[in-house]
Amino acid sequence: MFLNKQEKATLRATIFRHLDGIATAPTAYALLEKGVLDYLLKNGKTSIEALSVEFKAMKAI
């Protein structure tokens, strides 16, 4: 079975969305575990500096 150009593009898009989830899921889970997501929901807008202080994290340079 051969796929046409549109079918190939659709298949690639599905595969890459799946791969994005694999890369994103561990980060999202770590943010949940550490309480960062709750903090963001409670406080709304914040800065990297404030998050860094609140969660005793190293700031990116």
pLDDT, one tens digit per residue, over 8-50 is: 999 988 888 877 777 888 899 999 999 999 999 999 899 988 9
For 48, the token pair is 């990297």
SS3 category, 3: coil
Q: Tell me how far the alpha carbon of residue 48 is from its chain's centroid.
A: 16
Alpha-carbon distance of 29 to 34, in angstroms, equals 9
For 18, the token pair is 């799946």
pLDDT for 59: 63
Domain ranges of the chain: 5-54
SS3 category, 59: coil
